[in-house]
Structure 1
Protein backbone atom coordinates (compact mmCIF):
# COMPACT_ATOMS: atom_id res chain seq x y z
CA UNK A 1 0.00 0.00 0.00
CA UNK A 2 1.35 3.40 -0.93
CA UNK A 3 1.67 6.19 1.62
CA UNK A 4 1.68 8.97 -0.96
CA UNK A 5 -0.92 11.66 -0.81
CA UNK A 6 -2.87 12.97 2.13
CA UNK A 7 -3.01 11.16 5.45
CA UNK A 8 -6.31 10.22 7.06
CA UNK A 9 -5.94 13.08 9.55
CA UNK A 10 -5.30 15.62 6.78
CA UNK A 11 -8.45 14.47 4.99
CA UNK A 12 -10.32 14.60 8.32
CA UNK A 13 -9.24 18.19 8.96
CA UNK A 14 -10.17 19.24 5.44
CA UNK A 15 -13.65 17.68 5.68
CA UNK A 16 -14.38 18.45 9.35
CA UNK A 17 -16.51 21.57 8.73
CA UNK A 18 -18.79 19.55 6.48
CA UNK A 19 -18.95 16.62 8.91
CA UNK A 20 -19.74 18.86 11.88
CA UNK A 21 -22.45 20.62 9.86
CA UNK A 22 -23.95 17.32 8.77
CA UNK A 23 -24.02 16.08 12.37
CA UNK A 24 -25.67 19.31 13.53
CA UNK A 25 -28.39 18.92 10.88
CA UNK A 26 -28.92 15.27 11.82
CA UNK A 27 -29.25 16.17 15.50
CA UNK A 28 -31.67 19.02 14.79
CA UNK A 29 -33.87 17.02 12.42
CA UNK A 30 -33.71 14.06 14.81
CA UNK A 31 -35.07 16.30 17.56
CA UNK A 32 -37.91 17.31 15.25
CA UNK A 33 -38.82 13.67 14.70
CA UNK A 34 -38.60 12.86 18.42
CA UNK A 35 -40.90 15.84 19.11
CA UNK A 36 -43.72 13.78 17.56
CA UNK A 37 -43.52 11.69 20.73
CA UNK A 38 -43.65 14.68 23.08
CA UNK A 39 -39.95 15.52 23.49
CA UNK A 40 -38.92 19.16 23.21
CA UNK A 41 -37.32 20.44 20.01
CA UNK A 42 -33.76 21.63 20.55
CA UNK A 43 -32.65 24.96 19.14
CA UNK A 44 -30.38 25.13 16.10
CA UNK A 45 -27.65 26.63 18.29
CA UNK A 46 -27.70 23.66 20.64
CA UNK A 47 -27.63 21.34 17.63
CA UNK A 48 -24.50 23.10 16.36
CA UNK A 49 -22.84 22.83 19.77
CA UNK A 50 -23.61 19.11 19.88
CA UNK A 51 -22.55 18.63 16.25
CA UNK A 52 -19.06 20.06 16.79
CA UNK A 53 -17.70 17.21 18.94
CA UNK A 54 -19.77 14.51 17.23
CA UNK A 55 -18.55 15.64 13.81
CA UNK A 56 -14.96 14.59 14.49
CA UNK A 57 -15.42 10.82 14.80
CA UNK A 58 -17.92 10.78 11.95
CA UNK A 59 -15.54 12.71 9.71
CA UNK A 60 -12.62 10.50 10.72
CA UNK A 61 -14.54 7.37 9.72
CA UNK A 62 -15.47 8.97 6.39
CA UNK A 63 -11.85 10.04 5.83
CA UNK A 64 -10.70 6.44 6.43
CA UNK A 65 -13.19 5.33 3.79
CA UNK A 66 -11.97 7.97 1.32
CA UNK A 67 -8.31 7.06 1.97
CA UNK A 68 -9.11 3.38 1.35
CA UNK A 69 -10.77 4.33 -1.95
CA UNK A 70 -7.75 6.44 -2.94
CA UNK A 71 -5.22 3.67 -2.24
CA UNK A 72 -7.06 0.77 -3.83
Structure 2
Protein backbone atom coordinates (compact mmCIF):
# COMPACT_ATOMS: atom_id res chain seq x y z
CA UNK A 1 0.00 0.00 0.00
CA UNK A 2 1.29 3.44 -0.89
CA UNK A 3 1.80 5.87 1.98
CA UNK A 4 0.14 9.25 1.97
CA UNK A 5 2.20 12.25 0.96
CA UNK A 6 1.54 13.81 4.37
CA UNK A 7 3.06 10.81 6.15
CA UNK A 8 6.16 10.83 3.95
CA UNK A 9 6.53 14.61 4.41
CA UNK A 10 6.22 14.29 8.18
CA UNK A 11 8.82 11.51 8.38
CA UNK A 12 11.32 13.00 5.91
CA UNK A 13 13.20 15.27 8.36
CA UNK A 14 13.71 12.35 10.73
CA UNK A 15 14.78 9.92 8.01
CA UNK A 16 17.12 12.40 6.35
CA UNK A 17 18.60 13.41 9.70
CA UNK A 18 19.19 9.83 10.77
CA UNK A 19 20.79 8.91 7.46
CA UNK A 20 22.95 12.06 7.52
CA UNK A 21 24.26 11.23 11.01
CA UNK A 22 24.90 7.62 9.99
CA UNK A 23 26.70 8.74 6.84
CA UNK A 24 28.85 11.22 8.77
CA UNK A 25 29.91 8.69 11.41
CA UNK A 26 30.50 5.99 8.81
CA UNK A 27 32.75 8.48 7.02
CA UNK A 28 34.67 9.15 10.23
CA UNK A 29 35.17 5.46 10.93
CA UNK A 30 36.20 4.81 7.34
CA UNK A 31 38.71 7.65 7.54
CA UNK A 32 40.20 6.29 10.74
CA UNK A 33 40.54 2.84 9.22
CA UNK A 34 41.39 3.90 5.69
CA UNK A 35 43.38 7.08 6.25
CA UNK A 36 46.46 5.36 4.86
CA UNK A 37 44.48 4.77 1.63
CA UNK A 38 43.66 8.46 1.28
CA UNK A 39 39.91 8.13 1.83
CA UNK A 40 38.29 11.53 2.39
CA UNK A 41 36.24 12.52 5.42
CA UNK A 42 32.84 14.03 4.69
CA UNK A 43 32.10 17.47 6.03
CA UNK A 44 28.88 17.87 8.02
CA UNK A 45 27.34 19.69 5.03
CA UNK A 46 28.21 16.85 2.66
CA UNK A 47 26.79 14.35 5.14
CA UNK A 48 23.57 16.38 5.40
CA UNK A 49 23.23 16.48 1.60
CA UNK A 50 23.97 12.78 1.36
CA UNK A 51 21.46 12.16 4.14
CA UNK A 52 18.77 13.84 2.07
CA UNK A 53 19.60 11.71 -0.96
CA UNK A 54 19.81 8.44 0.98
CA UNK A 55 17.08 9.41 3.45
CA UNK A 56 14.27 9.84 0.93
CA UNK A 57 14.09 6.19 -0.18
CA UNK A 58 14.57 5.02 3.41
CA UNK A 59 11.79 7.31 4.59
CA UNK A 60 9.48 6.07 1.84
CA UNK A 61 10.16 2.45 2.82
CA UNK A 62 9.47 3.26 6.49
CA UNK A 63 6.25 5.08 5.56
CA UNK A 64 5.15 1.97 3.62
CA UNK A 65 5.82 -0.08 6.73
CA UNK A 66 3.74 2.33 8.85
CA UNK A 67 0.88 2.08 6.33
CA UNK A 68 1.00 -1.74 6.53
CA UNK A 69 0.87 -1.54 10.33
CA UNK A 70 -2.08 0.85 10.16
CA UNK A 71 -3.93 -1.48 7.77
CA UNK A 72 -3.21 -4.47 10.00
CA UNK A 73 -4.41 -2.60 13.09
CA UNK A 74 -7.65 -1.59 11.38
CA UNK A 75 -8.30 -5.16 10.26
CA UNK A 76 -7.95 -6.75 13.69
Shorter chain as normaliser: what TM range?
Answer: 0.7 to 0.9
SS at structure 1 position matched to 2:40:
coil
Q: Which runs of 5+ in 1 are unaligned?
A: 1-6
Listed as ranges, the matches of 1:41-56 within 5 Å are 41-56=41-56
Residues 31-42 of structure 1: pairs in structure 2 closer than 5 A = 31-35=27-31, 36-38=33-35, 39-42=39-42
TM-score (norm 2): 0.79
Larger Cα-atom Rg? 2
Q: Which structure features the higher share of helix residues?
A: 2
Over the residues paired in the alignment, what is the CA RMSD in angstroms? 1.6
Q: Does 1:15 align with 2:18?
A: no
Question: After TM superposition, what 4+ stretches of structure 1 lie above 2 angstroms from structure 2?
Answer: none
1:58 partner SS: helix
